[in-house]
Amino acid sequence: MFRIIERDWNSFRIHFFVHNKIYWLSFIIGILSGCASLILKNLIQFFKEFLMGDFGTEKYLLFILPLAGIIITVLIVRFFIKDDLGHGVTLVLSAISNKKGRIRKHHTFSSVITSAITIGFGGSVGSEAPAVITGSSIGSNIARMFHLNYYDTLILLGCGASGAISGIFMAPLAGIVFTLEVLMLDLTMSSLIPILISSITAAVLTTLFMGNAVMLQFHIVNLFDYTNIPFYIILGIFSGFVSLYFTRMSMWLESKMKAIKSQWQRILLGGLLLGLLIFLFPSLWGEGYSSIIDVFNGHGASLLSNSAFAGINNPWFFSIFLLLLIFFKVIAMTATCGSGGVGGIFAPSLFVGAITGYFVAFLSNTILDTNLPVDNFAVVGMGAMMAGVMHAPLLGIFLSVEITGGYQLLFPLIISSLISYITIIQFETHSIYTKRLALNGDLITHHKDNAILHFMKVGGLIDTNFQIVPPEASLGDLTKIIIKSKRDLFPVVDADGSLKGMLKMTDIRDIIFRHELYDKVFVKDIMYMPEYYISPHDSMREVAAKFESSNHYNLAVIDDGKYVGFISRARVFSFYRKEMRSISHD
């Protein structure tokens, strides 16, 4: 009796805990990534309340504090972390592309600390990307701890990313969509379950500790009016072009700042530029969510009253002021990151999107005497901007709906977000996250074929069991070598190991049985030098391209003129299929 119970218990335990190991790990990752989001949010709030509470009355400190935050961040990174924290989401994509999903352990805490200081002191960036790299690192390192394979590592990495987004916004659907649309993980329905577990776990955890304080409080006063669809279309087009400016200006300014060799010059230039912009436009301080809430609550005019231009009560000037906020937010964001601060583009894109939607509605009401709801347009503008900047229309739609509760605006969100995305892809085929990797040829997450080729190495595919023929050998000598060979291809190699040419059985078939030519014809007279060959240093993408363009079944591998071996099309295809299975499912 007891043996039967023990046997059944062991069977249940193995099935429930071992076979469902990924589910349990995803639950743990959801808790940890949610905690990371909570800690990050509260740290930022702590620094903000401490600094603004003690120094808020001294407006000139708006000029100094952001620079101080960047200096502290740089010192922590330089002397304690000693690694490039870079752009959070781009680092995750790079880890997937180049490191089989492995992220260094310090990312489980380093981005939380440094971004909290950067943003808490006024850095004009968001906390979401640091949360994503933190959650992804938690998932990656837990996978490494349990010695999981590549595919399961990607699942847990995605669990950490979705948990971070879900926790920081209390938006479980957006967390899942982020993993699918931005990270572009190739997941099956069964592998989506762990992502769902992490996402909802982090959201519940955030709700328990912070309630609705995470959400951007928005109450729909004006329901969606179908007669406003033309204006939502205009908003989508305008948002697409603003997204284009957002992407190109940030990339250009960042490259200019990187060109400055002295790190302290970059810090001073970026920090002082950021301080000046915040001094003139206090709405650029930090993430900017308080300004978005003002717009939602009908207090958009406070954006001007808090600035250096307060007192100018002119609707035309206010319209220009809103455009200046859009223009300078991107510069303030890039100055923060380019000078050494740590943060992401989520919050800046939401800020720019809300101001863009507000601007379109306000300008239309001013010029055309319409009665467009500026708060609704601000919400839709956020989704449209994310769709354009991140090339993620679904993320823009679901995130805007979840963080505001504006589900009745789903229809205009779909319209504006899709049009914004369609507009920007005419000019930019890559998002702001993927463009840096694409320029270096390191982007594989959005192209499975490139992903598989990336993990295949030339060295593991070389065949060396070919019979070597010296160039001075006669036709008679060649026949003796052919008898020993199981191949119909013969590399011609001299005494120094250099490849002088090649011979194919098809090329000598008409003379191989003519005995009178055995001592008259020499290999050096009938060999040929291949037009296509491979270097051991070539990437597999280059190898695949050479096979495709040459239409050959075997290509010689030559290293600085020295013969190494051959790579066959069949062997490449066999390894390709093996990698396909490992990267797609276990």
Check pLDDT > 70 for residue 19. Answer: no
- Are 485 and 544 part of one and the same domain? yes
pLDDT in tens, 45-104: 888 888 876 555 466 777 889 999 999 999 999 999 888 777 778 888 878 877 778 889
Per residue in 105-128, pLDDT tens? Answer: 999 999 999 999 999 999 999 988
Predicted confidence band of residue 16 (pLDDT cuts 50, 70, 90): very low
Residue 12 — pLDDT band, cuts 50, 70, 90? very low
Beta-carbon neighbour count of residue 147 at 10 Å?
Answer: 8
Select the more confidently predicted residue: 499 or 237. 237
Among positive and negative, which fits the CA dihedral 203, 296, 289, 59? negative
The answer to whether position 219 is within a domain reads no
Q: Which residues in 83-109 are b (16+ Cβ under 10 Å) and which e?
A: eebebbbbbbbbbbbbeebbbeeebbe
- Among candidate residues 188, 214, 240, the one where a domain is terminated: 214
Q: Is pLDDT above 80 for 447? A: no
Question: ∠ CA(313), CA(316), CA(322), 5° rounding?
Answer: 90
The more confident residue out of 564 and 448 is: 564
Residues 267 and 338 reside in one and the same domain: yes
CATH number of 495's domain: 3.10.580.10
Q: Are 322 and 307 in contact (CB under 8 A)?
A: no
Q: What is the model's pLDDT at position 439?
A: 65
Contacts of 275 (CB under 8 A, 6+ apart): 62, 63, 64, 65, 66, 67, 122
Give the whole-angstrom CA distance, residue 196 versus residue 176.
7
Say what the pLDDT of residue 120 is.
Answer: 92
Report DSSP letters for 449-476, one per residue. HHHHHHT--GGGG-B-----B-TT-BHH
Residue 47: inside a domain: yes
**Of 395, 414, 446, which residue constitutes the final position of a domain?**
446
Distance CA 346, CA 404 (A): 15
Pairing status of strand 554-559 against strand 533-534:
parallel
pLDDT value at residue 54: 55
Instruction: Give the model's pLDDT for residue 536.
Output: 80
Amino acid residing at 478: L
Residue 4 — pLDDT band, cuts 50, 70, 90?
low
For residues 329 and 288, the answer to whether their CB atoms sit within 8 Å is yes
Domain range for 98: 2-214
Per DSSP, helices labelled H in 442-568 are: 448-454, 475-484, 505-508, 523-526, 540-550
Identify which of 126-140, 448-462, 482-496 has the greatest average pLDDT. Answer: 126-140
Half-sphere exposure of 170 (CA within 13 A, CB side): 19
Q: Of the candidates 446, 470, 503, which is a domain's last residue?
A: 446
Cα 51 from Cα 79, distance rounded (Å)? 25
Per-residue pLDDT averaged across 32-37, rounded? 94
Of residues 580 and 180, which shows the higher confidence score?
Answer: 180
373 in any annotated domain:
yes
Quick one: 135 and 237 in the same domain? no
Least confident of 206-215, 385-394, 518-527, 549-558: 206-215
Q: How far apart are CA 295 and CA 408, in angstroms?
A: 18
Average pLDDT over residues 545-551: 80
User: Which string of DSSP letters, residue by residue, matches 65-130?
Assistant: HHHHHHHHHHHHIIIII-S----HHHHHHHHHHHSTT---GGGGTHHHHHHHHHHHTT-SSBSHHH
Distances in Å between the Cα of 529 and the Cα atoms of 257, 502, 503 are 49, 6, 9
With bands split at pLDDT 50, 70 and 90, how would you rate the model's confidence at 448? low
268 and 406 share a domain?
yes
Please name every residue paired with 493 in a beta bridge, in sequence order, or none if there are none: 499
What are the structure tokens assigned to 156, written together? 């847990």
- What would the mean pLDDT of 513-534 be, rounded to a whole number? 83
Q: Is 188 found in the same domain as 95?
A: yes
Residues 140 and 276 in one domain: no
Where is pLDDT greater, at 341 or 457?
A: 341
Higher pLDDT, 575 or 429: 429
Closest-CA residue to 406 (of 218, 546, 227): 218
221 lies in some domain: no
Asked whether the predicted pLDDT for residue 356 surpasses 70, the reply is yes
Whether the predicted pLDDT of 567 surpasses 70: yes
Distance between CA atoms of 91 and 442, rounded to whole angstroms? 12
Alpha-carbon span 151 to 480, nearest angstrom: 50
Q: How confident is the model at residue 441 (pLDDT cuts 50, 70, 90)?
A: low
Element containing residue 567 per DSSP (H, E): strand 562-568
pLDDT at residue 580, rounded to an integer: 63
pLDDT, one tens digit per residue, over 191-242 is: 789 999 999 999 999 888 877 665 566 666 677 888 999 999 999 999 999 9
Query: What is the pLDDT at residue 583?
Result: 55
Same domain, 14 and 116: yes
The structural domain count of the chain equals 3
Q: Which residue has the higher pLDDT, 452 or 177?
A: 177
Are residue 198 and residue 302 in the same domain, yes or no? Answer: no
CB atoms within 10 A of CB 424: 24
DSSP label at 243? H
Reported confidence tier of residue 382, pLDDT bands at 50, 70, 90: very high
- State residue 518's pLDDT score: 83
Instruction: Please say if the pLDDT value at position 9 is more than 50.
Output: no
In whole numbers, what is the pLDDT of the chain averaged over residues?
Answer: 85
Task: Flag whether 500 is in a domain.
Answer: yes
Whether 397 and 262 map to the same domain: the answer is: yes
The sign of the torsion formed by the CA atoms of 18, 23, 26, 28 equals negative
What is the average pLDDT across 19-46?
90
Confidence of residue 473 (pLDDT cuts 50, 70, 90): confident
Q: Is residue 220 part of a domain?
A: no
Q: Which has the minimum average pLDDT: 57-66, 323-332, 376-385?
A: 57-66
Residue 244: what pLDDT? 96
Confidence of residue 141 (pLDDT cuts 50, 70, 90): very high
pLDDT at 586: 45
Are 306 and 300 a contacting pair, CB within 8 Å?
Answer: no
Is residue 71 located within the same domain as residue 176?
yes
The lowest-confidence range among 289-293, 376-380, 548-552 is 548-552
Name the residue among 300, 287, 289 with its Cα closest to residue 374. Answer: 300
Q: What is the CATH number of the domain that holds 434?
A: 1.10.3080.10
CB-facing half-sphere around the CA of 111: CA atoms within 13 A: 34
List the one residue out of 297, 296, 316, 294 whose CA is nearest residue 305. Answer: 294
Rg over alpha carbons for the chain, rounded to the nearest Å, is: 30
- 477-485: average pLDDT: 83
Written as one string, the DSSP assignment of 193-218 is: HHHHHHHHHHHHHHHHHHGGGGS---
Rounded Cα distance between 303 and 283, Å, is 6
% of the chain beyond a pLDDT of 70: 88
Residue with tokens 């010689």: 556
Residue 446 confidence (pLDDT) above 70: no
Tell me the whole-structure pTM to 2 decimals: 0.80
The pair of structure tokens assigned to 33 is: 């990534």
More confident residue, 308 or 344: 344
The arithmetic mean of pLDDT across residues 256-274, rounded, is 92
Rounded-to-integer distance, Cα 18 and Cα 22, Å:
9
Same domain, residue pair 497 and 569: yes
Query: What's the confidence (pLDDT) of residue 215?
Result: 58
Q: What is the mean pLDDT of residues 363-372?
A: 92
In a domain, 279, yes or no: yes
**Are residues 360 and 265 both part of a single domain?**
yes
Lowest-pLDDT range of 58-67, 300-309, 313-322 = 58-67
Q: How far apart are CA 415 and CA 404, in angstroms?
A: 18
